[in-house]
Structure 1
Amino acid sequence: MLNLKASQVKFNQISKFLMRKIYFIYFLFMLNGLFAQKKDKLYPITAYEKVWQEKNSDVRLKLIKSIWLEDSTFEDPSASIKGSVALNNVINEFYKKYPDAVLTSGAKVVKDNYVTWDWKILDGTSKLVMSGRDFARLNGKGQVSKIIGFWDREVTPSDSDILKNIETENYKVVAKYYECLFKTRDFDSMAKLIEEGAVYNQATGLPYGGTYVGFAEWTKMFAKSTEFFDLQIEKEPTYFSDASKNEVIIYFTINCKAKKSGKNLSVPISEHFDLKNGKITAIRAFYFDTKQFAEFLKSKK
């Protein structure tokens, strides 16, 4: 009888131990499930952060399409867009302004299908450029439905800083154009700087004067000009800018040798560039004395 009671007690102890172990394993299983669920829910956010860190536009667009629907939206103080291509364009413009930017982000807070986190943008010298907080709504299927970004105004670039950045980028575009046209004759690289349908207004008094629309027409004008003279740069350009109007003006001097007469003439030139989103949309050329230059090109003596 005593042995039976002892066996019963031992059985109860073993049962309790096993039940505790089962409950503990079940708890771990549930906890792991919750972590896995959170991890899966955060996948589109992790991918979204990689999107912003990717500087190759084509690679980035493929990644965007994996988490972004055509009716997904993005809003912040600088943009309000819908669709994957539009988001890619926003990021392209961002890297034009901040080519050395490094993005970092904080811990994610998840509630139902909503996620929020803070972020910072540093420049190439680790100086804080701006910071803020994003709020994302997910669709529960591994994709982002909407993201709203808020900027910390204390570190957001001032209007003057923004204009300065635009001015710097515009200078780079115009300087590259000048190099392609007058030094390397690299029209393939130049074409990438020109907006589709861009207008070149060449002085009408010149043999190749007129209005040329589209880069293909520009190249015809450039080719025609070489029928009349050869040139060397006599004075490198001086740059002026009004970033608020997206305008750059350069003043430089060329030394021309007319092909008909063999004579030389020093010609000061001013070219006015209109730009938009990092591309040239229009050029207007002005000559110190257009009439004198035209007669010089046509003269046979």
Structure 2
Amino acid sequence: MKMLMRKIYLLCFLFLLNGLSAQKKDKLYPITIYEKVWSEKNSETRLKLIKSIWLEDSTFEDPSASVKGITAFNNVINEFYKKNPDVVLTSGSKVIKDNYVTWEWKITDSKSNVIMTGRDFARLNGKGQVSKIIGFWDKEVSVSEADNLKKLESDNFNVVAQYFECLFKTKDFIKMSTLIEDGAVYNQAEGLPYGGTYKGFSEWTKMFTKSAEFSSFEIEKEPVYFSDASKNEVIIYFTIKSTAKKSGKSISMPISEHFDLKNGKIVAIRAFYFDTKQFAEFLKSRK
């Protein structure tokens, strides 16, 4: 009897393990198609692939382009192959966390010489489609350079993590001020009641104070951190729960914030809301 129960437990465990593995593979499906999209040189065939994972509000951004929609994304790849007709694209293993995926890639010529390397970050919508791709380009680096970049990446990550902790949890603005470079710029979406460009930490605090007049904020989903040391840039994705002061209603809103750093301090922040118009209307609503 005991032997039978052990076999049953083992079968259940294997079934659960296989189920988790299948879920992971299913989540990677749009990324698999995305990679096929980049390898497909025929525009019409590629367009059909794009339509299966891309929406009209899906966005692609890298140092060469910033576009939204299916046709615009296909045109980016058309232009890429006009300039690089014989290249081969390959990619590394994927790291998945919630609906975010990141992986490294490289581009080689017909003689297998490396032309460019980089890293992509993808946000998925949970329905088999891609909401956003951000691509970073890197140059081939030596081991020592790679070690330096790794340390810089860690340092930048820690600065941003401390900033996030000060702003949303400890409310320690004195410590936060030590993380901000003099004259640092914060860009908030113009459509928000506290939207605009704020320069210098004293102006930042005015913006934080003004935003608190419209709503209270709490973290609903902890941030996912992505870092590109070669550009001194950190990107975080998180979700806030906001309760409007005027209406008393609450809303959940995914946000990404792009941090630029220099010499261990933040020099610029750009905040992006999943739906800025909806969030602005929510803050202003009285009902």
Superposed, 1:34-53 pairs within 5 Å as none
Root mean square deviation, CA, Å: 1.1
Q: Which of 249, 252, 259 does residue 245 from structure 2 map onto? A: 259
Match of 2:229 in 1: 243
Local SS of the residue matching 2:286? coil
Local SS of the residue matching 1:226? helix
Local SS of the residue matching 1:158? helix
Q: Which of 137, 141, 152 does residue 166 from structure 1 map onto? A: 152
Counterpart residue identity of residue 174, structure 2: D
CA distance in 2, matches of 1:270, 1:232: 15
Matched, 1:234 2:220: yes
Match of 1:199 in 2: 185
Match of 1:51 in 2: none
CA distance in 1, matches of 2:224, 2:278: 23
Q: Which of 282, 285, 291 does residue 268 from structure 2 map onto? A: 282
1:259 Cα deviation after fit: 0.7
CA distance in 1, matches of 2:222, 2:190: 25
Counterpart residue identity of residue 145, structure 2: D
Counterpart residue identity of residue 175, structure 1: A
CA distance in 1, matches of 2:185, 2:216: 24
Matched, 1:218 2:173: no
Match of 1:270 in 2: 256
Q: What whole-Å deviation, never above 9, does each CA across 1:248-267 have from its counterpart, x for those lacking one?
A: 00000000111111111001
CA distance in 2, matches of 1:239, 1:266: 19
Match of 1:92 in 2: none
Superposed, 1:1-301 pairs within 5 Å as 158-301=144-287
State the percentage of identical aligned residues: 75
Local SS of the residue matching 1:227? helix
Structure 1 regions of 5+ residues with no counterpart? 1-155
CA distance in 2, matches of 1:266, 1:273: 22
Counterpart residue identity of residue 196, structure 1: D
Local SS of the residue matching 2:213? coil
CA distance in 2, matches of 1:231, 1:278: 27
1:231 Cα deviation after fit: 1.4
Local SS of the residue matching 1:282? strand
Local SS of the residue matching 1:176? helix
1:202 Cα deviation after fit: 0.7
1:230 Cα deviation after fit: 0.8
Local SS of the residue matching 1:297? helix
1:157 Cα deviation after fit: 6.4
Counterpart residue identity of residue 249, structure 2: K
1:194 Cα deviation after fit: 0.3
Q: Aligned pairs, how many?
A: 146
4+ residue runs of structure 1 moved beyond 2 angstroms? none
1:232 Cα deviation after fit: 1.2
Counterpart residue identity of residue 187, structure 2: N
Larger Rg: 1
